[in-house]
Amino acid sequence: AQSVAQPEDQVNVAEGNPLTVKCTYSVSGNPYLFWYVQYPNRGLQFLLKYITGDNLVKGSYGFEAEFNKSQTSFHLKKPSALVSDSALYFCAVRDIGGNTPLVFGKGTRLSVIA
Amino acid sequence: GAVVSQHPSRVICKSGTSVKIECRSLDFQATTMFWYRQFPKQSLMLMATSNEGSKATYEQGVEKDKFLINHASLTLSTLTVTSAHPEDSSFYICSARKGPSTDTQYFGPGTRLTVL
């Protein structure tokens, strides 16, 4: 079975500071990993994904994430946070192979303070 | 990026009535579509997976007779909540994927269902 853990319910960061949203995963095989962002009363917007290749993945809006196989982590990062980055962030994983759906973490609310 | 639409965005209905929610992939053909339910301040809970032309696969605990899913074409899936009750009130989000599991899932904007 696959699962995702987002250990922080809430992350607060000052505007202009770097931000990190943590994610660890568990799959039986190799993972496909995704980050999505959700604004209030909206669906999810795709940020970035890791399938294979370079462990550092760059995505939309200046976000990036680093795949660490030994630590089974896929933390989301941004060098300089903006107030407009404030939203709910979801990490998701899917096991390679088959028609398996994404499994989501519980979400982390990011608040960027001006 | 790929665009997924949902209609309606918000619906209020009386208890006992049925509500249909449409999900469309606007600029790609979706071999697989997913329906999720999200409770306030919680994560997305997968309800069912559907492939075009075949029956949906429901997750454990999801009543297939209550939540009817039809994936009639490569661009349209519908979720019908039958005999809705107040506890069915939730945010329903659909998602679509072009092809194999390496593809990204794109999400619709969601439908807020309120059952009075």
Residues on chain A touching B5 (C-beta within 8 angstroms): none
Residues on chain B touching A42 (C-beta within 8 angstroms): 109-110
- The β-bridge relationship of strands A10-14 and A24-26 is unpaired
Q: Residue A66: what residue type?
A: E
| pLDDT above 70: residue A49 | yes
Chosen for mutation from A102, A104, A106 (greatest number of chain B CBs closer than 10 Å) is: A102
Query: What pLDDT does A112 receive?
Result: 97
DSSP annotation of A7 reads -
| pLDDT above 80: residue A27 | yes
The average pLDDT across B39-44 equals 81
Query: What pLDDT does A97 receive?
Result: 66
> Comparing A20-24, A25-29, A93-97, which segment has the lowest mean pLDDT?
A93-97
- The β-bridge relationship of strands A44-50 and B57-58 is unpaired
DSSP annotation of A5 reads E
Query: What pLDDT does A99 receive?
Result: 61
What pLDDT, in 10s, does the model give residues B57-102? 999 999 999 999 998 889 999 999 999 999 999 999 999 988 766 6
How far is B83 from B85, CA to CA, in rounded Å? 7
Compute the mean pLDDT over every residue in chain B, rounded to the nearest whole number: 91
Chosen for mutation from A34, A99, A100 (greatest number of chain B CBs closer than 10 Å) is: A99
Please check whether residue A59 touches B, CB under 8 A.
no
Query: What pLDDT does A64 receive?
Result: 97
| pLDDT above 80: residue B8 | yes
Q: What percent of chain A has pLDDT over 90?
A: 75
Q: Which residue has the higher pLDDT, B32 or B100?
A: B32
> Comparing A12-16, A77-81, B105-109, which segment has the lowest mean pLDDT?
B105-109
DSSP annotation of B31 reads S
Contact pairs from chain A to chain B, CB under 8 Å: 56
Query: What pLDDT does B4 receive?
Result: 93
What pLDDT, in 10s, does the model give residues A58-101? 999 999 999 999 999 999 999 999 999 999 999 999 887 656 77
| Beta-carbon separation of B34 and A102 below 8 A | yes
Please check whether residue A101 touches B, CB under 8 A.
yes
